[in-house]
């Protein structure tokens, strides 16, 4: 066959059927959106990249793929666009729709990244009736038998297990105990609290101070003074308040009161 005998391509046949199928792509987007007004202007078309072969078959034998994009007018989806992927078999003009999806653009407002529930929780989130199970890999807990066997690595953990862990499968690890003490010490009943800075003495020297058992005995305890703002709370050993058991009013002279506990007598009469 000579060159002159090759039939010329008809002007009515598009050079690229996939690129020319804008109307078909829009119709697919409208069908998915459910309303023609929700599909905006045609934004362009992108040829989908492909590997040289798929399962040993050359890509040119599998077909051609192209994605048309249209602006989205869907309320609440500013900056998003409709993506309609079309495909055809090489050598044929028939175009089929592969998929229609709504995708975010560079200026789209997206929800924050999903965070597992156990990372979203904050102190105080637990309410009546809520159940908060601990995970198997919680670093704050270790099997009770483990601290017995590894007493050389965690000698304080052995004390916890011996005093508190009878009948319990897991106890707090060294990391868990350190985290708890650090949190308590930095809180309302730690040494840096305004009340502690004005106290006549630390809790460790107060008769109302009830040290915790085990490895935390030297660092934290509970307050048993009904008049203290920390009554019934876990307090740091170096916390303190004006209700210290050693706070006294010493009278050197009948007409003079020495306020060793820094009491303010402006609100009451001294007898």
Count of Cβ atoms closer than 10 Å to residue 95 Cβ: 18
Buried b (16+ CB within 10 A) or exposed e, 157-182: bbbbbeebbeeeebbbbbebbeebbe
How far apart CA 20 and CA 136 sit, in angstroms, is 57
**pLDDT value, residue 248:** 59
pTM score, whole prediction = 0.41
Using one digit for the tens of pLDDT, what is the confidence trace for 63-90?
A: 689 999 999 999 988 899 999 999 988 8
Query: What are the φ and ψ backbone dihedral angles of 241, each rounded to 5 degrees?
Result: -150, 175
**pLDDT value, residue 268:** 60
Of the candidates 49, 87, 92, the residue with the CA atom closest to the CA atom of residue 68 = 87
**pLDDT value, residue 81:** 95
Give the residues of the chain that fall short of pLDDT 70.
Answer: 1-14, 50-63, 118, 123, 126-135, 144-168, 248-271
């Amino acid at each position: 066959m000579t060159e002159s005998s090759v039939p010329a391509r008809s002007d009515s046949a598009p050079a690229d059927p996939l690129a020319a199928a804008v109307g078909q792509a829009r119709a697919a987007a409208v069908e998915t959106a459910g309303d023609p007004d929700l599909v905006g202007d045609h934004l362009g078309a992108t040829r989908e990249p492909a590997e040289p072969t798929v399962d040993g078959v050359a890509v040119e034998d599998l077909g051609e793929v192209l994605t048309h994009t249209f602006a989205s007018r869907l309320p609440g989806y500013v900056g998003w666009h409709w993506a309609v992927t079309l495909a055809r078999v090489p050598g044929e003009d028939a175009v089929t729709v592969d998929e229609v999806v709504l995708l975010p653009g560079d200026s789209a407002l997206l929800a924050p990244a999903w965070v597992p529930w156990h990372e979203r929780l904050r102190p105080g989130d637990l309410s009546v009736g809520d159940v908060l199970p601990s995970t198997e890999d919680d670093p704050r807990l270790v099997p009770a038998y483990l601290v017995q066997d590894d007493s050389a690595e965690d000698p304080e953990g052995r004390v916890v297990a011996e005093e508190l862990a009878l009948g319990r499968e897991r106890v707090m690890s060294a990391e868990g105990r350190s985290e708890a003490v650090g949190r308590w010490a930095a809180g309302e009943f730690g040494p840096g609290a305004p009340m502690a800075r004005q106290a006549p003495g630390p809790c460790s020297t107060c008769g109302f101070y009830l040290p915790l058992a085990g490895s935390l005995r030297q660092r934290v305890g509970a307050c048993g003074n009904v008049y203290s703002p920390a009554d019934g709370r876990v307090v740091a050993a170096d916390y303190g308040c004006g209700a210290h058991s050693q706070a006294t009013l010493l009278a050197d002279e009948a007409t003079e009161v020495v306020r060793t506990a820094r009491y303010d007598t402006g609100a009451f009469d001294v007898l």
